[in-house]
Chain A
C-alpha cells in the first residue's frame, strides 16, 4: 500500500521487472522474485551503509528503510527508497558524489 495515497496494489515499479523473460509480472516467478528482492536489499545496503542506514525486506511486499538510531519508514519500492533515505538521514544521497563513487569502487574491488 502506498503510504501517501493509501491505494492498494499500486503501479509496478520499473525496477521490479526482473531482467529475465517471463517474470515481468508479480503473478509469475515468485521464487525468482523473492531472490531478486533479497539481492536488492543486499545491494542497497552497500550504498546505504555510508549514510548509516539499512534496508530490510518487509513481508515480501514492501521494504523498511531505517537509520542506525531507529528512525524507520516503510516504502513500496525502489522509487521511494532514496527520497525516504534522504528524509531520514537529512543528507543528499547522490550517486554522483565522488566520495560515494570512491566507496563503491572500493567495495567492488574488495
Chain B
C-alpha cells in the first residue's frame, strides 16, 4: 500500500458558474501525478451531474448532497472527508494522497478551508492546500461586476486559471488578466491551454509553502508583478489589493496582537494576507499566509530570498482603507527607536 502522508492536502477548486471547473478537474484527474487524488464534488443543482462529467466513478469520488457548500452542507463536507479518511485507514478504498474539493460556482471558498482547519478530527490528518480558481475569459468581466462571490473566489486563489481563451479575443484576455492582477496580485496566473501543467496547480500546498520553493519564486518578496494603480472603488465589490513595505524590524508578539485584533473585527473583509516579515532579533524571515480569519502556521524561511531585508505584506481587502491599515500596522507592530 502506498504511504499515506502525515497531512493529506485538501485542494479547493472553485470558480463561478460555468467557468470550466469540471473541465479542469477532468484534466487534472487524467494527469499521472494526480491519479491518487480523492474527489469531492458539490453541486447546487437538484440533480448532481458533474460527477458523471469527470468520468471517473470509484469509491474515492464522493458527491456531496445538493446545496451550497458554504452554507448548507458544511457538516456534510467534514463528514465526507472523515469518512474517506476512515475508509482509507481501514484499507477499504485505494490509498489517496490528496483530496480535491470542487465547490459550486456560487460558494464562498473560505468555509471549506476553515472546515478542514476547525474540525477536531480533520485538522490532525488534513491540511488546507492550494485554492485553484477558474476564471472564464468570456463572462468573467460581467460576473466580477455583479457578484461578490466571484470577486472573493479570485481574491483567495493561489492559482488563477483563465479558461475559454480560445473563444475570447486577445484584448479581452489582456484586460481580464490586468483586472485579476489588481484583485489578487500574487496568485500564479495560468491560461488553460494545452501547455498548462495541472500538477503544478496543487503542488504548492501550505505544508511546503515555506522554504526554498517559495523563496526562489520570489513569491512574497517582490513588488507584486504588474500591479496596477490601487483599484479601490473601481470594482463594484470594493475589493482591492495593496502591499505594505516596512523598513524596520517587526515585533512578532505585537504583530500577533495586531493581526488577531484586525481579523476579529474585519476578518470577512480581509480576504488575504501574505507576507514575508523581518522579525526583530531574528536573522531569518518568517512567512505568513492567511485567508480571511484562517491564519496558516507561520513558517520560518531558511534564508531571505534576496538582498532586500525589508518586510513585505500583501493585503487583499474588501472596502478597508489601505492607508489606515498601513498606519495601524506601524503603530502596533513596528519597532521604534524608543521601544527597541
Contacts and interface: CB of A to CB of B under 8 A. Distances in A.
Given A105-B331, A108-B338, A96 B256 contact: no
Interface residues of B, number: 40
B261 A93 contact: yes
A61 B183 CA distance: 40
Contact of A82 (B117, B265, B284, B336): B265
B266 A19 contact: no
SS class, residues of chain B in contact with chain A: helix
Interface in B61-119: 117-118
A79 B260 contact: yes
B296 interface: yes
B324 A36 contact: no
Interface residues of A, number: 35
Considering residues A11, A39, A95, A96, which has the most beta carbons from chain B within 10 angstroms of its beta carbon?
Answer: A95
A101 B282 contact: no
B266 to A, nearest CB: 7
Given A96-B324, A101-B328, A108-B338, A15 B259 contact: yes
Interface of B: 117-118, 120, 123, 251-254, 256-262, 264-266, 277, 279, 282, 284, 286, 295-298, 300, 320-321, 324-325, 327-328, 330-332, 336, 338-339
Given A94-B266, A95-B262, A104-B328, 6 more contacts: A11-B118, A17-B297, A24-B300, A39-B253, A104-B331, A105-B330
Interface of A: 7, 11-12, 14-15, 17-21, 24, 36, 39-40, 43-44, 47, 78-79, 81-83, 86, 92-96, 98, 101, 104-105, 108-110
